[in-house]
Amino acid sequence: MSNRAMNKKRRKRKRIVKRIMSCLLVAIAIVSGSFAAKVRYEVTDAFATMDRDKSSDLSNVLDDSDLLSDDQIMNILLIGSDKRANWSQAGRSDSTMIATIDNKNKQLKLTSLMRDMYVDIPGHGKSKFNAAYSLGGVELLYETIAQNFNIKLDGYVLVDFEAFKSLIDEAGGVEVNLNQEEYTYLTTAYHRSSVLDVVPGLQTMNGEQALAYARIRQVGNNDFERTQRQRNVMLSLFAKAKAMPFTKLFDLGKTVLPYVTTDLSNDEIFRMGKTVLFMGTTHIHQMRIPVDNSYKNQKINKAWILDVDLAQNQQALSEFIFNKAED
């Protein structure tokens, strides 16, 4: 066979291979697109079970353009409410954190806001920080954080105790290292100690056990260690969720979403999820407000409060959220 004929045959073979590859790529694109569309449809359908709060839309609540913000950083308020199923009132914010998705520095951050801080609550004078939610719901909580800490939030997610327990149970529990003091309290003083069945040391806790652990306040350094326990549970849960296959993660979402209240849109939730997924990190940097040496314990109206240095804590919070956190 001549060189000309051989070259012609090779070119023909290459054209066939290219056509086959093109067909395969088109087929993959169609299948991938169909799968993505199906996933988005199913996830959107699951999102519909959430309680959507449109009244606390940030554009209606906060109009101060001087609040600190960054287009590459999302700050989501996480609220754990102590409202029970048979209560008619809103309840107090038993746990308040700011979850930061920092796409600029490729970091995830979690900040606890201590409930006994004595702060200005707009329209109500000075009171404990966690009173803001019971006095005016999320809107007043937004305003209170803005006035005292100068931080603009991008939305909130609120869960009650039942949602917290269901989330952990569906995830298969969370890893917690229980020290002796915590074990003694949970098995002797906790009001539901008879149903906990915990042991000292590292263990997998179910929702009921993890809730009891996260609410311990009478052991160690009171509310300071309590907020650390809450972050411990959140970090353990996040690590477990990151390791789950999509199908399990989807089932987890379907279980807990009916208990969730939020003012975030579906697009915002998708965008946050995509950012966290492609960030690729499982490490979460932690902080607590007030920071050390920025407060005094005082008694006002027969109640113990934290008298905080707002300027010092404003600076500490903004530096943590908007700058690269140290490992």
Q: Residue 270, exposed/middle/buried by CB under 10 A (0-12, 13-18, 19+)?
A: middle
pLDDT: is 133 or 90 the higher one?
A: 133
Residue 171 within a domain: yes
* Same domain, yes or no: 169 and 239: yes
* Same domain, yes or no: 101 and 247: yes
Q: For residue 15, is pLDDT > 80?
A: no
* Range of the structural domain that residue 35 is part of: 1-48
Q: What is the pLDDT of residue 102?
A: 95
* Same domain, yes or no: 314 and 207: yes
* Same domain, yes or no: 22 and 63: no
Query: What is the tens place of the pLDDT at every residue in 117-163?
Result: 999 999 999 999 999 998 999 999 999 999 999 998 999 999 888 88
- Measure the CA–CA gap between 190 and 187, rounded to whole angstroms: 7
Task: Answer for the pair 190, 179: CB distance below 8 angstroms, yes or no.
Answer: no
* Same domain, yes or no: 61 and 140: yes
* Same domain, yes or no: 129 and 12: no
Q: What is the pLDDT of residue 257?
A: 81
* Same domain, yes or no: 123 and 249: yes
- Measure the CA–CA gap between 319 and 100, rounded to whole angstroms: 12
Residue 73 within a domain: yes
According to the per-residue pLDDT averaged within each range, which of 25-39, 124-138, 236-250 is highest? 124-138
Written as six digits, the tokens of 113 are 């806001």
> Which residue among 29, 48, 67 closes a domain?
48
Residue 242 within a domain: yes
Q: What is the pLDDT of residue 308?
A: 96
Q: Is the dihedral of CA 76, 271, 236, 68 positive or negative?
A: negative
199, 201, 202, 206 alpha-carbon torsion, rounded to 10° = 30
* Same domain, yes or no: 201 and 59: yes
Task: Output the average pLDDT for the chain.
Answer: 81
* Same domain, yes or no: 68 and 133: yes
Q: For residue 17, is pLDDT > 70?
A: no
**First and final C-alpha spacing in the chain:** 68
Query: What is the tens place of the pLDDT at every residue in 163-195?
Result: 888 889 988 999 999 999 999 988 887 777 667
Q: How many domains does the chain have?
A: 2
Contacting residues for 325 by C-beta, under 8 A, at least 6 apart? 102, 105, 107, 109, 285
Residue 327 within a domain: no
Written as six digits, the tokens of 47 are 């999102």
pLDDT: is 65 or 32 the higher one?
A: 65
Task: Answer for the pair 308, 290: CB distance below 8 angstroms, yes or no.
Answer: yes
Q: For residue 34, is pLDDT > 90?
A: no
β-pairing, 93-102 with 107-113? antiparallel
| pTM > 0.95: yes or no | no
Band (pLDDT 50/70/90 cuts) for residue 51 is low
The CATH code of the domain that includes 180 is: 3.40.630.190
Band (pLDDT 50/70/90 cuts) for residue 35 is very low
Written as six digits, the tokens of 1 are 């066979």
* Same domain, yes or no: 39 and 85: no
* Same domain, yes or no: 12 and 152: no
pLDDT: is 23 or 233 the higher one?
A: 233
- Measure the CA–CA gap between 175 and 243, rounded to whole angstroms: 14
Sheet strands side by side (includes 73-81): 51-52, 261-262, 155-160, 73-81, 93-102, 107-113, 284-289
Residue 216 within a domain: yes
Q: Is the dihedral of CA 274, 257, 216, 307 positive or negative?
A: positive
* Same domain, yes or no: 209 and 96: yes
Residue 237 within a domain: yes
Residue 182 within a domain: yes
Task: Answer for the pair 133, 53: CB distance below 8 angstroms, yes or no.
Answer: no
